[in-house]
Structure 1
Amino acid sequence: MTTLAAPLAFSGADAAPCLVSRPATRLLIQRGDTELVVQELKPSAAASTVRFPAPWPRRFGRCAVSPAGDLAVFTGPHALQAVDQAGNVQWELRHRCWGGCAGHEAFTEYADERDHRYASSGSAGFSADGTLVWAHIRGPLAHEQPDRGRGTEEWLVINAGDGTVLARARTHTAAAGSFHVPHPDPNQMGLTIGEGQEGSPLRWGRWDGDTLAVDSFGGENRVLLAVSPTGDRLLTVTHDQDTVALHRVSDGAVEAELSAVAVPRHPSVESEPSGTFEDDETQAFFDYGGGFLNEDTVVVGTVESDEEFGTGRHWLVDTARMRLTDRLTYPFEVSGLPQALGDGTWYTVSDTENALHVWAL
């Protein structure tokens, strides 16, 4: 459909750009070491660009952008920091360090410390209406007693306007990292927490205006990929990448699953003499990426397992039967994972990470 140039000139210090679909607009987002760039893309208007100064380099944390593109939240080793379009810090919420130190007031104090450079990290995500920030942190908060839940990971619901903590709950995890997946209902949010080889706990949060209730879906073994456009179902992949599944949002129950055994071997394997590879060497597995093109169709990839044999493959899955329907073919070679936007389109990142290609069936 179109190709979008990355907002930042290519550099090893810059993350690949991503695209987020919003009602009547899309946000093209890219994080660099010194700034976060957000381009608002509207069908009938020229793109508008906002640059948020970054309080610390990207390797020290993650970031989230409000649906309107007017506020960015940076997560770091010691704090959450909300920055507006003018570069003003709207609020800051300090918490126990992910690296385990006693605390630092400024980035320059820990910039060269190995414990911070390779520390675990949390994440943040905006609610669908932009009024709430959901944040995964390491407690306690800075204003609390040091021995309150020392080093305990928590999930916070925060007023996006002023940084007030509205609700909180423990996640009972030991994260290496995490990311949020929003739901159309502002009072619901998904959180996937990576614990390295130990697993990938999936937490589902519901806030009723007073209390944050947290459910665990998937037996500590599911990575949340996406929420369906209606908000009724979730798409997950198992930690060992052998199964993708649809879950009901209401209770997390699995509605249907697709095993990677159903994925044909890579075409280049078929051309090799018999006995060249062991069967387990050629078995495809699903990527930690994909999503809903619409309520009836999911796109997933087997890029990671295909790379030894040739071009990575993307697949369409019928959600009614949870069966492969087609392998996607492109007019030119694409790299990376398919990222669905929920409106019938998806995008891929160019091999040099300096552009996005947006596709439709």
Structure 2
Amino acid sequence: MPAARLTATVRTPLDPATADAPEVLYRAGRRLVVQRADTELVALDQELGTATRFPAPWPRDFGTVTVSPDGDTAVYCGTHAVRCVDASGAIRWEVRHACWAGECLQMHEEFAEYADDEEHAAPDSGSAAFSSGGKLVWAHVRGPLAADDDNAAEDAEDEDGNELWLVLDAADGRVLARADTGTFASGSHHTPHPDPAQMGLSIGEGEEGSPALWGRWDGRALTVHKIDDETVLLDVSPSGRHLLATDVGQDALYLHAADDGAILRDLDAEGTVSGHQDGGRVYWDFEAAFTDEDTVVASTAGSDAGYGPARHWLVSTGDMTLRSRITYPHPVTGPARVAGNGTWYTVSDDRTSVSVWELTDAG
């Protein structure tokens, strides 16, 4: 069996009772362990051993957040704005947009305007991500942009209530390009590509579907291609030529060509992964990671719950076959998640630590 070797264990900085589970961000050769609470976000640099704390402009239930590859800025993608801040909490730039809460569509200037409003208590949300080189921010927002913003479009009325995918200058927040996604999101997440001018976007629409989009920015315009209406992007191969995805039912893993989104190969969980004694359905997790161009670590942790330790599997993408179950020096919990540079990570059951893994030579 292929074996996993532990390369690092990072203790998370925040109380798991009052903070989100930690995440690993890998950009421009740097790995950051990021954890968010209501009042702050902490980014740990594994190699430098430093921790940067960013004051949060609004609680964690009101949007998502990401951190620049150099760890100097955080971009909060909130209910009414995309806001870039430094460690002091100073606003580097902000792009305001229509409110994500229900039918509100107001142009709020501050979180305080709706902080105690029950109709804003559980808003939908977009997301943001830095490009591979850190010079661009890709953001999924609800349009239109604020009319008094320098970035506002002349045809803002045409964007009223529509969702937009923006390419922003990470230095000053200028809108370099935009495109209408034609979606109705409850939430979304980005999947970065080695080419900073490309990005993936998976959008959850509740019972309406889960469109996966692929964006390309040519320096002037953003073109968007829909990969599928019922797909969640998981990772991009090191070369950038291939995309890994699963369907919303988590029945199969799909290898797509990045250039046109075509499905090249797939691998069903049922009939491939050994089942459980009571016949419970086996399915893939919504997380997986390329370790090299032809190898993926995928997992069935969600369907393994209640039956024993989470199971992780080595998949060959050349013929989309299951090679074997991965062995660990101790049981792990949860799915295998992307950690970059041929590695993946797991989060401890109590969410107090992150473990980074790589395959041994025998793998």
1:133-156, CA deviations, whole angstroms, 9 ceiling, x for partnerless residues?
111000001115774322100101
Q: Contact 1:314/1:328 (CA < 8 Å) preserved in 2?
A: yes
SS at match of 1:261: coil
State the match for 1:337 in structure 2.
335
Residue 111 of structure 2 is aligned with which of 107, 110, 130?
Answer: 107
**Amino acid across the alignment from 2:23:** C
State the match for 1:320 in structure 2.
318
For 1:266 and 1:259, locate their aligned partners in 2 and report how far apart those are by CA, in whole Å.
13
State the match for 2:3 in structure 1.
none
**Residue 331 (structure 1) shift:** 2.2
**Amino acid across the alignment from 2:352:** N
1:88-113, CA deviations, whole angstroms, 9 ceiling, x for partnerless residues?
10111110000032343322232222
**Amino acid across the alignment from 2:119:** D
Q: Contact 1:139/1:154 (CA < 8 Å) preserved in 2?
A: yes
TM-score after normalising by structure 1: 0.91
1:148-184, CA deviations, whole angstroms, 9 ceiling, x for partnerless residues?
3221001011111111111100001010100111111
1:20-63, CA deviations, whole angstroms, 9 ceiling, x for partnerless residues?
23454321111111111112222xxx412211111001111001
Q: Contact 1:289/1:300 (CA < 8 Å) preserved in 2?
A: yes
State the match for 1:272 in structure 2.
none
In structure 1, the gaps of 5 or more residues are 270-276
**Residue 344 (structure 1) shift:** 2.6
For 2:135 and 2:343, locate their aligned partners in 1 and report how far apart those are by CA, in whole Å.
27
**Amino acid across the alignment from 2:353:** A
State the match for 2:261 in structure 1.
252
Query: How many residues of Structure 1 are paired with residues of Structure 2 in the alignment?
Result: 345
SS at match of 2:159: coil
For 1:23 and 1:207, locate their aligned partners in 2 and report how far apart those are by CA, in whole Å.
19
Q: Contact 1:263/1:284 (CA < 8 Å) preserved in 2?
A: no
State the match for 1:58 in structure 2.
60
RMSD of aligned residue pairs (Cα, Å) = 1.6
State the match for 1:134 in structure 2.
138
In structure 2, the gaps of 5 or more residues are 1-5
Matching of residues 256-267 of structure 1 within 5 Å = 256-266=265-275
State the match for 1:230 in structure 2.
239
State the match for 2:40 in structure 1.
35
Q: Contact 2:96/2:107 (CA < 8 Å) preserved in 1?
A: no
1:222-276, CA deviations, whole angstroms, 9 ceiling, x for partnerless residues?
1000011111110000111111111111111111100112333345x1xxxxxxx
Q: Contact 2:30/2:70 (CA < 8 Å) preserved in 1?
A: no
TM-score after normalising by structure 2: 0.91
Residue 219 of structure 2 is aligned with which of 209, 220, 223?
Answer: 209
SS at match of 1:115: helix
Q: Contact 1:228/1:342 (CA < 8 Å) preserved in 2?
A: no
For 1:347 and 1:318, locate their aligned partners in 2 and report how far apart those are by CA, in whole Å.
19
For 1:60 and 1:30, locate their aligned partners in 2 and report how far apart those are by CA, in whole Å.
15
State the match for 1:84 in structure 2.
86
| Change over 3 Å in CA distance of 1:222–1:24 after alignment to 2 | closer
Residue 191 of structure 2 is aligned with which of 181, 189, 197?
Answer: 181
SS at match of 1:125: strand
State the match for 1:67 in structure 2.
69
State the match for 2:13 in structure 1.
7
1:197-236, CA deviations, whole angstroms, 9 ceiling, x for partnerless residues?
2211011000001110000002x01100001111111000
Q: Which moved more, 1:312-321 or 1:106-115?
A: 106-115
For 1:229 and 1:91, locate their aligned partners in 2 and report how far apart those are by CA, in whole Å.
32
**Residue 311 (structure 1) shift:** 2.4
State the match for 2:124 in structure 1.
120
1:112-149, CA deviations, whole angstroms, 9 ceiling, x for partnerless residues?
22322211100011111111111100000111577432
**Residue 294 (structure 1) shift:** 1.3
SS at match of 1:21: strand
Q: Contact 1:36/1:53 (CA < 8 Å) preserved in 2?
A: yes
State the match for 2:347 in structure 1.
349
Q: Which moved more, 1:16-25 or 1:309-318?
A: 16-25
For 2:115 and 2:283, locate their aligned partners in 1 and report how far apart those are by CA, in whole Å.
38
% of aligned pairs identical?
Answer: 49
Q: Is 1:195 the counterpart of 2:168 in the alignment? A: no
For 1:5 and 1:66, locate their aligned partners in 2 and report how far apart those are by CA, in whole Å.
21
